[in-house]
Amino acid sequence: MKAWICKAFGEEAVLTDWIDPVPGPDQVAIDVQSCGVNFADTLILIGKYQKRPDGPFSPGFEVSGTVRSIGANVKGITIGDRVMALPDWGGFAEQVVANAATVIPLPETVGYDQAAAFQIAYGTSWFGLKYRADVQSGDLVLVHGAAGGVGLTAVECAKLLGATVIATAGGADKCQIARNHGADYTIDYKIENIRDRVREIAASLGKPAGVDVVYDPVGGDVFDQSLRCVAPGARILLIGFASGTVPQIPANILLVKNVTVIGFYFGAYLEQNPDIARQGMGELLGLLATGKITPMISATYPLSDAMIALEAIRNRTATGKLVINMR
């Protein structure tokens, strides 16, 4: 098979012929049709992701395709089935092995690109907002990085949960994208002060104390500003640190405002909560199949151009979701 292989953290990945993967017990081998591109792919290549593979590896955490072969103990999955899956890594390749627990059959109404584009981004937002931050109807939710692959899904998921959404993004075009996907208010952080503008919007909505929930995949100064425009009892959901700066949280502000900061790593959450994982992924697949959520796929790349897609993620020029299509 063809695969992008990184032989050591920090080295450039190369497209090469590689050994076809063989599923072990409780595993499934998949002929990959599509693979979603995520910021985490840039991190795993330099050894800064939460999980670190031993030896040469391919990036790629969410795939769709057809079942090629199955290992021992696997039930309910048949060779040739259309599926989506969340491998630990390896999706930038024509074949990949995934744990059977993460392999989910695809309805005929769901396309391969759609399936590869929605699992991590929508999963992170849906599970994070619904099951971790406990967003309720009527909550005021602040979403950062709202035109990106993950932030945009947070806007949609928060609206589905009944919240009013304030979205931040860089530039008028990106703010318009957030509005097109349901944001009630937008803040262009390039020309507006996030803290001041959030307070102004919240006051106009009868919530002068600030927002109830913050969805933060950015970190850095964005987190610091968020902490100063939240209501007492607010929840701040930490998704990642796209800014490159991990915030140092002043605990005195948490204490005075009774604020809860919630870390959320989607992959670990699925492993730690298998029952909720099945329930939540079923909910998302139903929303996708009925058109209540629609991944914004802004570009599709052939496997040969996977590193170009990663560069668009790395320099933050991408909007929505990028997908690699193998076929």
Which residues have C-beta within 8 Å of that of residue 81, sequence separation ≥ 6? Answer: 66, 67, 105
Residue type for position 213 = V
In the chain, residues under CATH classification 3.40.50.720 are 137-264
Burial class (CB in 10 A: 0-12, 13-18, 19+), 90: buried
Q: Rounded distance, CA 280 to CA 215, Å? A: 19
What's the confidence (pLDDT) of residue 319? 79
What's the confidence (pLDDT) of residue 282? 87
Q: Rounded distance, CA 289 to CA 285, Å? A: 6
Kindly tell me the sign of the dihedral angle through the C-alpha atoms of 65, 70, 73, 75: positive
87, 36 Cβ separation under 8 angstroms: no
217, 151 Cβ separation under 8 angstroms: yes
Full pLDDT tens readout for the chain, 327 residues: 999 999 999 999 999 999 999 999 999 999 999 999 998 999 999 998 888 999 999 999 999 999 999 999 999 999 999 999 999 999 999 999 999 988 999 988 899 999 999 999 999 999 999 999 999 999 999 999 998 878 999 999 999 999 999 999 999 999 999 999 999 999 999 999 999 999 999 999 999 999 999 999 999 999 999 999 999 999 999 998 888 889 899 999 999 999 999 999 988 898 899 888 888 988 998 898 888 998 889 999 999 999 999 999 998 888 778 999 998
Give DSSP secondary structure letters for 178-208: HHHTT-SEEEETTTS-HHHHHHHHHHHTT-T
Q: Rounded distance, CA 1 to CA 18, Å? A: 5
Q: Rounded distance, CA 125 to CA 69, Å? A: 32
What are φ and ψ of residue 275, in 5° steps? -70, -45
87, 96 Cβ separation under 8 angstroms: yes
pTM for this structure?
0.85
Fold adopted by 2-119+287-325: Quinone Oxidoreductase; Chain A, domain 1 (3.90.180)
Q: Rounded distance, CA 41 to CA 276, Å? A: 25
Q: Rounded distance, CA 312 to CA 37, Å? A: 10
In the three-class reduction of DSSP (H, G, I as helix; E, B as strand; rest coil), residue 260 is classed as: strand
- The H-or-E segment that residue 2 falls in is strand 2-5
How wide is the angle at C-alpha 93 spanned by C-alphas 271 and 23, nearest 5°? 55
Residue of 186, 144, 183, 192 lying closest to 164 (CA atoms): 183
The residues pairing with 236 across neighbouring beta strands, listed in sequence order, are 214, 261
Residue type for position 278 = R
Q: Which CATH architecture fits 137-264?
A: 3-Layer(aba) Sandwich (3.40)
| Structure tokens given for 314 | 């790395």
Helices (H), the chain: 39-45, 112-126, 151-160, 172-180, 194-204, 220-227, 251-257, 266-272, 274-289, 306-314
In the chain, residues under CATH classification 3.90.180.10 are 2-119+287-325
Composition of the chain by helix, strand, coil, percent to 5: 35, 25, 40
What are φ and ψ of residue 226, in 5° steps? -60, -40
